[in-house]
Amino acid sequence: MWRRVASVSHFTCAHKSIVNNKDVCKLKFWEAFTTEIPRKDKGTFQRDKTPFITFVLGGPGSGKGTQCMKIVENFGFTHLSAGDLLRREIAANSADGTMILNTIKEGKIVPSELTIRLIQKEMESSDNYKFLIDGFPRSEENRIAFEQIIGAEPDIVLFFDCPEDEMVKRVLNRNQGRVDDNIDTIKKRLKVFAALNLPVVKYYLEKGKLYKINAVGTVDEIYKQVYPVFASFNFEQVRA
């Protein structure tokens, strides 16, 4: 039913980045990573165990998590939401739990090393090689620290472009009991998004890795823009 569309909104041949990631495979993290992970894909996508990393960016309520669930369902990615990993630390009363809670309440960014450690742990314990890293990097500092600690860059970056009033409406209706889904914190998060996250979006636009998605419309309408991005890589489809 789905067909690859010719006008995928990207700014370069995203396959080009595969070459980049083969280079970073020489780094320590990926050496350990790739030797431990058996290939499960049978598709035409040839990466020889090299991780395929997608960063998923967008303001609060732009629909990142919702679209990630659909990508997981269709293309068998492992979804790592930075926010969910941080909230799990709070729920587990970990040593950093209180600091994370206070940071999230203020709509600020948790120190990069901590968030990256959580992401790295999940990646290393996964037997998948396809990752959606949702809500990360939230700042240039996040981005640079990931490159330094993990030694890799994303293959592609999705950016869900959504007007502020729509994001506010969605967050206020989210009803997940989150401490940051109130109007005061949302205002702070939107400011942080504009000041710290949009420069990251610009960086990946200039690098030719960005796929800008119009995040206004129904979930299915938005996914019709997302699907062809992944279909173009010929991953084995879990469900059509």
Ligand X SMILES: Nc1ncnc2c1ncn2[C@@H]1O[C@H](COP(=O)(O)OP(=O)(O)O)[C@@H](O)[C@H]1O
Ligand Y SMILES: Nc1ccn([C@@H]2O[C@H](COP(=O)(O)OP(=O)(O)O)[C@@H](O)[C@H]2O)c(=O)n1
Which residue sits closest to ligand Y, CB atoms considered? Answer: 83
The answer to whether the CB of 55 falls within 8 A of the CB of 133 is yes
Smallest gap, in angstroms, from Cβ of residue 63 to ligand X? Answer: 4
Applying the rule CB under 6 A, the residues between 133 and 172 that interact with ligand X are: 170
**Residue 133: helix, strand or coil by DSSP?**
strand
Residues 117-176 that bind ligand Y (CB under 6 A): 135-136, 138, 142
49 or 108: CB nearest ligand X = 108
From the list 100, 150, 157, 151, the residue with the least C-alpha distance to 133 is 157
Are the CB atoms for 61 and 174 separated by under 8 Å? yes
In the bound complex, what is the minimum distance in angstroms from residue 134's beta carbon to ligand X? 7
Rule CB under 5 A: choose which of 58, 61, 65, 107 binds Mg ion. 65
Give CA–CA dist 232/234, Å, rounded: 6
Which residues between 172 and 211 bind Mg ion (CB under 5 A)?
A: none
Q: How far is CA 104 from the centre of its chain?
A: 18
Distance of closest approach, residue 88 Cβ to ligand X, in angstroms:
15
Question: Site mask, ligand Y, residues 100-119, x = CB under 6 A?
Answer: ---xx--xxxx----x----
Tokens of residue 56, six digits: 């998923």
Binding mask 86-125 vs ligand X (x if CB under 6 A, - otherwise)?
----------------------------------------
Partner whose footprint covers residue 115, from Mg ion, ligand Y, ligand X, none (CB < 5 to 8 Å by kind): ligand Y
Helices (H), the chain: 16-24, 28-36, 64-75, 82-91, 97-105, 112-124, 140-150, 164-172, 183-192, 198-207, 219-231
Helix or strand holding residue 56 (H, E)? strand 52-58
The window from 15-23, 57-65, 154-162, 206-214 that contacts ligand Y (CB under 6 A) reads: 57-65
Question: Buried b vs exposed e over 52-61: b needs ≥16 C-beta within 10 Å?
Answer: bbbbbbbbbb
| CB closer to ligand Y, 66 vs 234 | 66
Is residue 180 at the binding interface for ligand Y, with CB under 6 A as the rule? yes
**Nearest distance in Å: CB 66, ligand Y:** 10
The answer to whether the CB of 49 falls within 8 A of the CB of 37 is: yes
DSSP, collapsed to helix, strand or coil, labels residue 160 as: strand
Q: What residues are designated binding site for CMP?
A: 142
Query: Which residues lie near ligand Y (CB under 6 A)?
Result: 60-61, 64-65, 81-83, 86, 103-104, 107-110, 115, 135-136, 138, 142, 180, 189
Query: Which residues lie near ligand X (CB under 6 A)?
Result: 58, 60-66, 170, 173-174, 217-219, 222
